[in-house]
Amino acid sequence: MRSAPAALALCVGLVVVAGCGSSSSTSSSTESSTPAASTPATTSSASETSTSTGASGSSGTTSGAAQSLKLEAASSGELKYDTTSLSANAGKVSIDFTNMSSTPHNVTVESSSGATLGHTETFAGGTKTLALSLKAGTYKFFCSVPGHRMAGMEGTLTIK
């Protein structure tokens, strides 16, 4: 009779692992990471919004308002974004990530040293926003769903 609780615990664990969809998991839609001494402070937030699709770019503002970048996953389900290059000025930057595909994706940003600075949750069918505060430098953005980055779902984020 002791095997039933063990089997139940194993099933619950498998459901939790399968539901994560990425190498990092969170149960909230807002996260903060503690930055290292040379890593920029970051926050990420995921929110449902509707945005129009289009070319990526920044608002070009240098005030306290966040610069908004657009990024979209291929709607056909291919493992790629609509661009491999984003740029903005140093400071507050938000990436509005749209994934209208039925294939779950996310967007993760990491520093040149490989430290994860923030990410959206993994989702399909909608838009999530990743908000970061970044210093000048070169960063990588990618989908952290296993196998997606290796298949080419990544790009470079240049902060001036």
Question: 117 and 31 in contact (C-beta within 8 Å)?
Answer: no
One digit per residue, pLDDT tens: the chain, 160 residues?
455 454 444 444 443 334 444 333 333 333 333 333 333 333 334 433 333 233 333 334 445 678 999 999 998 889 999 999 999 999 999 999 999 999 999 999 999 999 999 999 999 999 999 999 999 999 999 999 999 999 999 999 999 9
Q: What is the CATH number of domain 29-159?
A: 2.60.40.420
Q: Are strands 154-159 and 85-88 parallel, antiparallel or unpaired?
A: parallel
Sheet with 116-119: strands ordered across: 85-88, 154-159, 137-142, 108-110, 116-119
Question: Which token pair is 136?
Answer: 């000048």
pTM of the full structure: 0.63
